[in-house]
Structure 1
Amino acid sequence: MLLGCIGDDFTGSSDLANTLRKQGMRVTQFSGVPTVAADPSVEAGVVALKSRSIPAKEAIAQSLQALEWLKAQGCTQFLFKYCSTFDSTPEGNIGPVAAALAEALDARKVVVCPAFPGAGRTIYQGHLFVHDRLLNESGMEHHPLNPMTDADIRRWLALQTDMKVGHVGFGAVSNGADAIKAALDRADREGARLIVVDALSDTDLMEIGAALNGAPLLTGGSGIAMGLPENFRRQGLLSGKGSTWQGVEGACVVLSGSCSTATRGQVARHRADELPMFEITADAAVAGKLDPQQIADWAMAQAERPLVFSSADPAKVRAAQETYGREPVATAIEQLFAAIARALVAAGVGRLVVAGGETSGAVVEGLNLTSLEIGPEIAPGAPALRARPSGRPVALALKSGNFGGENFFAEADAVLRGDAPTA
């Protein structure tokens, strides 16, 4: 294994695995830290944790455990992957985990670059934009777990760690890899160890990747990985062998626990198409009034792509959190979705489309999926996946809440079934 990646949630890890696959690496995504060695043919391993919103100490411990396993597989470069909207609180977990990994690897000039231009996330003068809006004006300021109230990544990161934060501006990035290297060296001489790097396009990310050839550690969204495979290819280290994708027949069910703007638009499109829907409210979930088996039975009885969702308006989510507490609400809904997923697999579901990072993590853990085959891209940041939770194949789409167009549920179903062109 050449490149070792640590993701702080499951959807983001799938996004990263998809990026590396498209750039020609043989990739496997692991759910949690594996207990056995990886297949020797794997060139990039992505260890998907569920560490984004847990206490920082736990996130650090899990990430260091993943790092040790990846080092044991022979990795020479490591990537800490987090969301392209830098989902975190002023306490962490991005800064504390990045700092702990830097210390463990004795790494300097650690790049921090959550940019993902394909999904509208860019960084300019250290500020993170979502399309034409600053991060804190994009809807992310209403995130129920990690409200992002400042678009200045330098300032937000400095709240999370004692390591000095530096910056490489677009002027250097636009002049290519050599200029980026020189700017990183300058920031290092000034004492910065975590360095925010601007990026407006995929070309910028490719140049940043080239500048990071041989760097022990980098951090960012999936886009920061775009230029890394070419470094290994130039050294003759990649096999050049691709992978094939076969769709899975059977029923398709959509599970949505995200209340992001994009997902609520997808739920609205599903409703407009007059497809079957079953809403989970926070009140019912916390009270334990919902039977996951009955919900699964309802879904399997529908003729076409039923949706089970708890994607409420942010105001309703906040009201429920004020009534019951943030963690009890999140835990009750995640546990319910995990139980529904188990019942669906037991009933023979062929395809699962899951919206929301926390929901996806709960489903993957609930199904005890230890590794996932990476398939073609459905939408930027959302690849098709295949696993065998019950000895037979189940195709999955694990989508971060903010990703995908309004028709994502239907598009994902087509790719997972094998009825859409794949790359």
Structure 2
Amino acid sequence: MLIAVFEDDLASSLQPLTLTRPSFMIRCGAQLLYEKIMSELEGKFVFCARGEVVEAARERLSGLGEVVSTDDLRALASGEDLLLVNGRWLFDKSLLRIGDECVALKDGELVYAYLRGDDAEKIAERCRSLPEFLDALRAELGEFRVDEARILRYPWDLIEYNREEILNDLKRLKRFKAWREPASIPGAYLVGENDFLISSTAKIYPCTVLDSSDGPVIIDDEAVVMPHSYLRGPCYVGRETWIVGGKVSASSIGHVCRVGGEVEETIIQGFSNKYHAGFLGHSYVGEWVNLGALTTVSDLKNDYSSVKVPIGGKLVDSGRVKVGAFIGDHVKTSIGLLLSTGSVIGVMCNLVTSGEPYPKYVPSFTWYVKGQVRDWIGVESMIEAAERMMARRGIRMSEAEKRLYRRLYEETREERREFAERVLRS
């Protein structure tokens, strides 16, 4: 069976997280979205990504499956039975009905579709793009509803579902390898009766508290939890990540991060630093972000009203009382920076505090220093700074990633100009 994980037009509603990656490469729980699918299904995988990110995604997914543009249907016309899986679906194998050809929908959105190889080939041959292919499937195959499916529509959905996804990923991770007995951790205090999954290569120092009262605590390979750290589940600490003190609760911290201070109900994609004091709550942080000491995110309005978040040029009501910030890749903040409730920060921004909360939306590649926009900083200087940070973790920025950032820089040029004019007027 051919398994095609695809992203659709609504991937843009998950920006800034999807500016630099396909929607199925976002983290929720302990795993990236595509990892959940690959850990449950066997077959040949194809990943269908937007053209602007396909080249960078192809490098990252090398060896896992073919990566093609959503405008290229040749990989789907292989003659094999085809299972199409929406990359924004928090995968649940129990909802699959494989056998009869079908299209599964949630609130009108395609969750997955299954069709036999000869039909897949015939339909693909007469369609020019994946959206056209999906529309043809809905017109020709039987549809049914899967109301239990959880489809990501906005960035705050990731925070909403993260607790449950840590529990779901726990079951998958238990199958992959043996984990260390918690009783073999001298000097650490273990509280609660839920699971502790601790890698045999993780180092847990004395005077740490691991609390599973509200959910499992998962600490992956070569992670380090330093003294005076409090981890409250459900919580995931990724490979080679350091928790350097403070409180981390109900959060997923990706691989190779450095995290301290107070972190609550937050996801960090990976390779990012929040080493010092400061609060980060109900937020999502991309890769290669450095949050300066005392950077603080507001996740609750003083009047306890629903938080509105800038999405696609409009303020969208999240319907939630607690929403923090959504921060794109390669963002840097100065010491003492204050981010407003429901903030969105684009990729490669450099923010230096003015002593007041920042605007709710800052376009990608903006250098905003003490209330002024520095628009003479070019993309090549930003890429060089990003390369220096990545080199500290032994990672090189690929040429495909550089081309992606240069393209994004040009695409967001007008947006930055309008932002700078608004700042001047204010």
- Above 0.5 in TM-score? no
How does the TM-score come out when normalised to structure 1? 0.27
Is the radius of gyration larger for structure 1 or structure 2?
2
User: RCO higher in 1 or 2 (8 Å CA, sep ≥ 6)?
Assistant: 1
Compare the two structures and name the one with the higher helix fraction. Answer: 1
Compare the two structures and name the one with the higher strand fraction. Answer: 2
How does the TM-score come out when normalised to structure 2? 0.27
